[in-house]
Amino acid sequence: MELFWQLLVHGLLTGCLYALVGVSWGLIYATSKVFHFAHVLTLLLATYLAIMVVNDFGSPLWTGFVVAAVVGGVFGALSEVVIYRPLRRFHATQLNIFLASLGLLEAGKYTMQLIWGANQIPVNGSSARTFQFGAISVTLNEFFWLASSVVLIGALFVWLNRSRSGRAIRAVATNPYLSASVGVSAETVYIKVFVVGSAMVGIAGYLLALSHTASLEMGLIPVLAGFTATFLGGVGSLRGTVLGGLLLGLAEQLSGLFLSGEWQTVTAFSVLVLVLMLRPQGLFRLRR
């Protein structure tokens, strides 16, 4: 029973990180319809540069969050302006855009390997402090996962529902042609969602590096989990993506009651297949 509660808590904490990544990617996809697979590269680049500032320049750990957000946001905006916007103007298909995103990811990863090498990089000063609540142990960095996810997702929810720019994003996501007729620029909205979504995934990557170490392989599983959370919850549904991330984290961790560690990820993604077979539109429909 103690193992169950430990896995349950860790499942919720892992799910918070998956939800954060899922919301960051889902915002981009639901609005621009770009399957932005280079989101993995955004996470890696933001994380590595944040760690470089902390490790090489002796900056405090909190500056890593700022650097990760800024680098992620800038790289996201450049991806939209330099790669995706020209492709849309040339009427590229969704497959062509996806392949361009995949090519950007691979080129970026090999470039990063030439610069930083293939070794894992720890974050200097990262705390391994653990808190014990009865039979349940939680690390300080996992508390950061929880707090950051709640704050960032909550802020995004308020922004999308209360601000003028947030309502413009929702309008473009629903119908870009109709929103253009009332003066909403889809191109401007696309840059905004790429900046915000990429800044969020940059922070998620730095949170992950604080708990473990940074490596060129660290971004794939969280971003794939974010994709899965988005489609589990229903594309365009913020609460659905959050619920999908939590469900995925719980499935991954609780499967440890019955299966060895290497099968946990397989079990988690099996949830996606099951849910989409029973409810293809996801757990929540997109409200229009």
pLDDT tens sequence across 14-47 = 999 999 999 999 999 999 999 999 999 999 999 9
Q: What is the pLDDT of residue 259?
A: 66
Q: Which residues contact 268 (CB under 8 A, 6 or more apart)?
A: 225, 228, 248, 249, 251, 252, 255
Q: Where does the pLDDT of residue 260 fall: very low under 50, low under 70, confident under 90, or very high at 90 and above?
A: low
Q: What is the pLDDT of residue 287?
A: 46
Q: What is the pLDDT of residue 254?
A: 83
Q: What is the pLDDT of residue 288?
A: 42
Average pLDDT value over all residues in the chain: 89
Q: Where does the pLDDT of residue 255 fall: very low under 50, low under 70, confident under 90, or very high at 90 and above?
A: confident
- Predicted confidence (pLDDT) at residue 224 exceeds the cutoff of 80: yes
Strand intervals (E) in the chain: 130-133, 136-139
Q: What is the pLDDT of residue 184?
A: 87
Q: What is the pLDDT of residue 268?
A: 64
Q: Is the dihedral of CA 210, 216, 219, 224 positive or negative?
A: negative
Q: Which of 10-14, 157-161, 247-251, 253-257 has the lowest mean pLDDT?
A: 253-257
Q: What is the pLDDT of residue 235?
A: 84
Structure-token pair, residue 96 = 């062509």
Q: What is the pLDDT of residue 264?
A: 67
- Predicted confidence (pLDDT) at residue 61 exceeds the cutoff of 70: yes
Helices (H), 33-181: 39-57, 61-78, 85-89, 94-116, 140-162, 164-174, 176-181
Can you name the residues that pair with 131 across neighbouring β-strands?
138
Q: What is the pLDDT of residue 12?
A: 92
Residues 109-124 have pLDDT tens digits of: 999 999 999 899 999 9
Q: What is the pLDDT of residue 277?
A: 78
Provide mean pLDDT across the span 264-282: 72
